[in-house]
Amino acid sequence: MIVMKFGGTSVADAKAIERVMSIVGGRLDKAPVIVVSALSKITDALYKICDFAENGDLIEAGMLVENIRDRHLKLIAELIKDEKYAAEAKTHTDSLCDNLKKLVDVICDLGELSPRSRARIISTGEYLSSGIICCALNAAGIATGFLDARKLIITDDNYLKGEPDIRLISEKVPEIITKAFASLDDGPVSALITQGFVSATEKGVPTVLGRGGSDYSASLIGMAMDSDEIEIWTDVDGVHTADPRKVKDTKSLNAISFREAAEMARSGAKVLHPSTMEPAVGKNIPIKVLNSMNPESKGTVILDESRIPAGVKSVSCKENIRMLNIFSSRVYNSAGFMGRVFSVFGKHHFPFELITVSQGAVSVTLGEDDDLQEMIEELSGFSTVFMETGKSQIAIVGKDMFSAGDVLSRISGVLAGHKIYLMSMGGTGGSLSIVVDRNELDGIIKDLHKVLFTDESGD
């Protein structure tokens, strides 16, 4: 079997979903399990509903619920001509939206919203899209069974970013999916559909996998089923050498390794959720990144590192980061100082990204939103701490990048004359990260991409 995941833009409207249906129709011999995201922008709207409701703003929250209902009802009218399935899709949509409205009323009344209730609300988008697409597939003659992801993807009780329980998932998913394909109740089906992003605790309490988590859902299901392939359908022709919105002349990569893909995702490339590769690696299941707007394009295949050539694969970036610099107040005993710094990081579960260490000084980069007040106070007890803002982080990712050619000198040529705050090489030439001023980022990225990918003679 295969897993096919379709992201929000791939299911944005009736035209997009018709394309999805024809792609699925061409793969029925492979027993596809379809994983869908919410229609594009719906999850954002659901987050807004939560915020309005928490602030007691019943009118705004209620209006957004009705907007969501309207968009889905309009979609059904355009997409499903068969009366029976259209009625079924409409009932499904109305019941989810009525339920959402009820929750909103209660939250507005209480004036508080727990992460647990938030997880329930923000899951609505995937239930809406998967229910409607299931009806549309059946109406088009593709017998498709509907699965509730809360029975498949089991996590801990971190409601908004659940940690998947691999053992339970590996146990439950094959049992449920095999049974559903045989479908003892309504006869066999040729495809199954479920929600991305959505999960639950072992007791069935709703959780989610975190923003963009549908890719992760797909690869967890692929892992549990030992699937032949995990297809991630999106709106670009695979993984590119850089973000096409930032850089001209980017190229789609034919093949990259699990590690390269994970590093790119962690360092800002938006195509895949960073955890997507983890479940696939162990079972060596190829992940394909494909374009539902252009299904003929080859896309990118993500494979085991041994099958991937050496060289630079991409330049990615995180636009807005900060740097925390920590200096020892004393000049001696630097090992003791490091030990103390790291134990404070550990205690506060500090989500740092890059780190450089020198005698008596530690510098780390981090995102813009984390609240570090308490941790900084504790560090200040034995060191001098200062924060720098307005920085960006660039990552050059590849395999064994510096062993051949003049890659390093090309990179230094671009960086000469710019202020560099931190530079860090990861795992034997697998990545190089550089921190620069935010206002220099766009220029540097373009120049790096040019010298690394378009200047090569004969290419």
The total number of residues written for the chain in this structure: 459
**Residue 161 interacts with ligand ASP (CB under 6 A): yes or no:** no
Stretch that binds ligand ASP, among 131-139, 210-218, 290-298, 342-350 (CB under 6 A): 210-218
DSSP state of 402: T
CB of 234 to Mg ion, least distance (A): 7
296 is in an annotated binding site: no
**Residue 212 interacts with Mg ion (CB under 5 A): yes or no:** yes
| Alpha-carbon torsion angle 162, 166, 169, 174, nearest 10 | 150
7 is in an annotated binding site: yes
**Based on CB atoms, which residue is closest to ligand ASP, 71 or 211?**
211
**Based on CB atoms, which residue is closest to ligand ASP, 7 or 286?**
7
82 is in an annotated binding site: no
DSSP state of 265: H
Q: What are the percentages of helix, strand and coil residues in the chain, rounded to 5?
A: 45, 25, 30
CB of 388 to Mg ion, least distance (A): 31
339 is in an annotated binding site: no
6 is in an annotated binding site: yes
**Based on CB atoms, which residue is closest to Mg ion, 85 or 216?**
216
Stretch that binds ligand ASP, among 82-90, 212-220, 248-256, 288-296 (CB under 6 A): 212-220
What's the CA gap between 398 and 259, in Å, rounded?
A: 9
Please spell the DSSP secondary structure of 320-345, one letter per residue: EEEEEEEEESSSS-HHHHHHHHHHHH
Residue 281, helix vs strand vs coil: helix
Residue holding tokens 């339970």?
A: 168
- Among ligand ASP, Mg ion, none, partner that 32 touches (CB below 5 to 8 angstroms by kind): none
**Residues 180-209 interacting with ligand ASP (rule: CB under 6 A):** 196-197
Report CA-CA distances (Å) from 415 to 80, 187, 258, 412, 418: 55, 63, 28, 5, 6
- List the one residue from 37, 383, 392, 433 that touches ligand ASP (CB under 6 A): 37
- List the one residue from 211, 246, 266, 418 that touches ligand ASP (CB under 6 A): 211
- List the one residue from 125, 162, 164, 268 that touches ligand ASP (CB under 6 A): 125
- Among Mg ion, ligand ASP, none, partner that 211 touches (CB below 5 to 8 angstroms by kind): ligand ASP
- List the one residue from 3, 6, 8, 302 that touches ligand ASP (CB under 6 A): 8
* Residue 130 in tokens: 């998967």
**Based on CB atoms, which residue is closest to Mg ion, 302 or 312?**
302
What's the CA gap between 277 and 305, in Å, rounded?
A: 12
Report yes or no: 363 and 326 within 8 Å, Cβ to Cβ. Answer: yes
What's the CA gap between 38 and 149, in Å, rounded?
A: 13
Collect contacts of 247-252 with beta carbons under 8 A, ≥24 apart. 247/315, 247/445, 247/446, 247/449, 248/446, 249/449, 249/453, 249/454, 250/449, 250/453, 251/453, 252/297, 252/298, 252/299, 252/300
Stretch that binds ligand ASP, among 161-169, 211-219, 232-240, 303-311 (CB under 6 A): 211-219
CB of 159 to ligand ASP, least distance (A): 15
What's the CA gap between 65 and 119, in Å, rounded?
A: 16
What's the CA gap between 19 and 12, in Å, rounded?
A: 11
CB of 50 to ligand ASP, least distance (A): 13
> How many whole angstroms from its chain centre is CA 71?
24
**Residue 274 interacts with ligand ASP (CB under 6 A): yes or no:** no
What's the CA gap between 392 and 441, in Å, rounded?
A: 7
- Alpha helices by DSSP H, 27-57: 42-54
- Among ligand ASP, Mg ion, none, partner that 43 touches (CB below 5 to 8 angstroms by kind): ligand ASP
**Residues 214-243 interacting with ligand ASP (rule: CB under 6 A):** 214
Residue with CB nearest ligand ASP?
A: 214
**Based on CB atoms, which residue is closest to Mg ion, 7 or 286?**
7
**Residue 7 interacts with Mg ion (CB under 5 A): yes or no:** yes
234 is in an annotated binding site: yes
**Residue 159 interacts with ligand ASP (CB under 6 A): yes or no:** no
What's the CA gap between 386 and 254, in Å, rounded?
A: 43
- Among Mg ion, ligand ASP, none, partner that 197 touches (CB below 5 to 8 angstroms by kind): ligand ASP
Count of residues in contact with Mg ion, rule CB under 5 A: 2
What's the CA gap between 428 and 190, in Å, rounded?
A: 46
**Based on CB atoms, which residue is closest to Mg ion, 101 or 266?**
266
8 is in an annotated binding site: yes
Residues that bind ligand ASP (CB under 6 A): 7-8, 37-38, 43, 125, 196-197, 211-214
Which residues contribute to the annotated binding site for substrate? Answer: 43, 126
Binding site for Mg ion (CB under 5 A): 7, 212
